[in-house]
């Protein structure tokens, strides 16, 4: 007998998810994706070919190739003075699986999880899949240090078991400094709340000192579940590889159980290529950072000239998250921009209530594409200024 029933958890996921697919049209200029247009560095591609030729085509071990885990912990230990061991690292199917495995491993139905508003929209979905309740605490640009303290106090008051944060922040490009993270650690000192820190954009920070990795904050370490991905750092979105570092053996064991159930193991040849990515990072990342930096300056300059628009300069990642002063919800405006002007951005509401009346533009596109999209956007805002009341 055919049945239309599906799992309640999926129904719930659909209800809470704000991750809408973009409506398309043939001549659409896409400025919505968090997807680097730059090529994966040549040494990584070469290492992949070599790995396949050498027969790295079989199962890996559950937590991942030992050599890759060693390279990753040595890299972290060298750069941030930590003392992680390879046994405290799990290779995951991208950052998404690192985050979702952690959620499924640590959250029970009804548990409260706290995140910043706005934040990467996957947290909402991962928590929903696990049956938890996501509590979003607004953190305004420029208020990151006090915002994190407030968020920690709220997590304690609500008896939350887990805090999920990204730094730099998707969508705003805001960053948490060392002082802000120290403040978070201080507030949590007497609690047993775990902190998932997702540093997908760690390599792309445009102002010295604005960002600190959670790995460099000793007081956070015992509660830290550090999630990282090769996707953004090395322009490797399609390779699907990321990792978790944590000294929390209880969490680690639980995450590994979820990971093994979902993935068994991760692509072996990709893990060989990932070793090359880490080993050559000093030769490849600076050029990508310069490239994004040029685009960032250009895009900020152009958006600043749009009527009724304002934003705080993003210090990291590759997005400009701008607020508009017109009385139209961001999902509706996104649709109108696609249908009437042929340019796609992401609606701010996807990232939390505080993201309403914002749009996220991604500058992971060539300057020509950016300019063509920005021309359309500028025209749209000139028309909005003339036709839509201010909010």
Ligand X SMILES: Cc1ncc(COP(=O)(O)O)c(C=O)c1O
The residues of the shown chain that bind ligand X, judged by CB under 6 A, are 34, 94-96, 120, 166, 170, 198, 200, 229, 231, 237, 242
Shortest CB 238 distance to ligand X, Å: 9
Q: How far apart are CA 18 and CA 13, in angstroms?
A: 10
Q: How far is CA 301 from CA 175, 340, 354, in A?
A: 21, 24, 24
Q: Write phi, then psi, for 44 (nearest 5 degrees).
A: -75, -45
**Identity of the residue, 229 or 271, whose beta carbon is nearer to ligand X in the bound complex:** 229
Shortest CB 96 distance to ligand X, Å: 3
**Identity of the residue, 229 or 246, whose beta carbon is nearer to ligand X in the bound complex:** 229
Q: Taking each helix axis as running N to C, give the angle between helix 367-387 and helix 281-304, from 0 to 180 degrees, rounded to the nearest 10.
A: 30
**Identity of the residue, 241 or 377, whose beta carbon is nearer to ligand X in the bound complex:** 241
Shortest CB 92 distance to ligand X, Å: 8
**Identity of the residue, 183 or 316, whose beta carbon is nearer to ligand X in the bound complex:** 316
Is residue 175 a contact partner of residue 205, using CB atoms and an 8 Å limit? Answer: yes
**Identity of the residue, 204 or 341, whose beta carbon is nearer to ligand X in the bound complex:** 204
Question: Six-digit token pair at 119?
Answer: 């934040």
Shortest CB 313 distance to ligand X, Å: 19
Shortest CB 37 distance to ligand X, Å: 14
- For residue 98, count other CB atoms closer than 10 A to its CB: 28
Sign of CA dihedral 33, 39, 41, 43: positive
Q: Which helix (H) or strand (E) holds 154?
A: helix 144-157
Is residue 311 a contact partner of residue 322, using CB atoms and an 8 Å limit? Answer: yes
**Identity of the residue, 243 or 341, whose beta carbon is nearer to ligand X in the bound complex:** 243
How far is CA 227 from its chain centroid? 10
Shortest CB 289 distance to ligand X, Å: 17
Question: Six-digit token pair at 338?
Answer: 């696609």
Shortest CB 61 distance to ligand X, Å: 21
**Identity of the residue, 204 or 306, whose beta carbon is nearer to ligand X in the bound complex:** 204
**Identity of the residue, 172 or 231, whose beta carbon is nearer to ligand X in the bound complex:** 231
Residues ≥6 apart with Cβ < 8 Å to 185: 217, 219, 220
Query: SS3 of 123, please?
Result: helix
Shortest CB 27 distance to ligand X, Å: 25
Q: How far is CA 325 from CA 67, 171, 215, 331, 389, in A?
A: 52, 19, 39, 15, 9
Question: Six-digit token pair at 277?
Answer: 């990515």
Q: How far apart are CA 64 and CA 76, in angstroms?
A: 17
**Identity of the residue, 134 or 384, whose beta carbon is nearer to ligand X in the bound complex:** 134
- For residue 3, count other CB atoms closer than 10 A to its CB: 5
Shortest CB 190 distance to ligand X, Å: 29
DSSP state at residue 38:
S
User: What strands, in cross-sheet order, belong to the sheet with 319-324?
Assistant: 309-310, 319-324, 358-362, 346-347
């Amino acid at each position: 007998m055919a049945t239309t029933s599906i799992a309640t958890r999926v129904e719930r996921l659909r209800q809470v998810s704000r991750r809408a697919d973009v409506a398309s049209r043939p001549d659409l200029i896409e400025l919505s994706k968090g997807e680097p247009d730059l090529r994966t560095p040549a040494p990584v591609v070469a290492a992949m070919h070599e790995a396949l030729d050498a027969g790295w085509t079989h199962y890996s071990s559950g937590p991942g190739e030992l050599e890759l885990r060693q390279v990753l912990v040595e890299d972290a230990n060298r750069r941030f003075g930590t003392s992680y061991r390879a046994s405290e690292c799990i290779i995951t199917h991208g950052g998404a699986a690192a985050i979702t495995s952690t959620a499924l491993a640590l959250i029970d139905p009804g548990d409260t999880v706290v995140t910043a508003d706005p934040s990467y929209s996957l947290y909402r979905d991962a928590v929903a899949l696990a049956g938890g309740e996501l509590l979003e605490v607004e953190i305004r640009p420029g208020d990151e240090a006090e915002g994190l303290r407030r968020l920690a106090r709220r997590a304690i008051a609500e008896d939350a078991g887990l805090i999920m944060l990204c730094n730099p922040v998707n969508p705003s490009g805001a960053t948490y400094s060392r002082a802000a993270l120290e403040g978070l650690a201080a507030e949590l000192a007497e609690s047993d709340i775990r902190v998932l820190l997702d540093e997908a954009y760690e390599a792309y920070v445009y102002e010295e000192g604005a960002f600190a990795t959670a790995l460099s904050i000793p007081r956070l370490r015992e509660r830290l579940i550090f999630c990282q991905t090769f996707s953004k750092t090395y322009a490797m979105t399609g390779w699907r590889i990321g990792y978790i570092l944590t000294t929390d053996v209880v969490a680690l064991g639980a995450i590994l159980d979820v990971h093994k159930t979902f993935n068994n193991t991760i692509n072996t040849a990709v893990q060989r290529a990932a070793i090359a990515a880490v080993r050559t990072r000093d030769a490849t990342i600076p050029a990508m950072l310069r490239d994004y930096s040029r685009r960032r300056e250009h895009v900020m300059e152009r958006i600043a000239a749009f009527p009724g628009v304002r934003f705080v300069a993003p210090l990291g990642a590759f997005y400009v998250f701008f607020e508009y002063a017109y009385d139209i919800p961001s999902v509706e405006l996104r649709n109108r921009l696609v249908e009437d002007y042929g340019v796609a951005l992401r609606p701010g509401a996807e990232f939390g209530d505080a993201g309403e009346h914002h749009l996220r533009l991604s500058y992971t596109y060539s300057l020509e594409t950016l300019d063509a999209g920005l021309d359309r956007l500028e025209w749209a805002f000139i028309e909005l200024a003339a036709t839509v009341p201010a909010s």
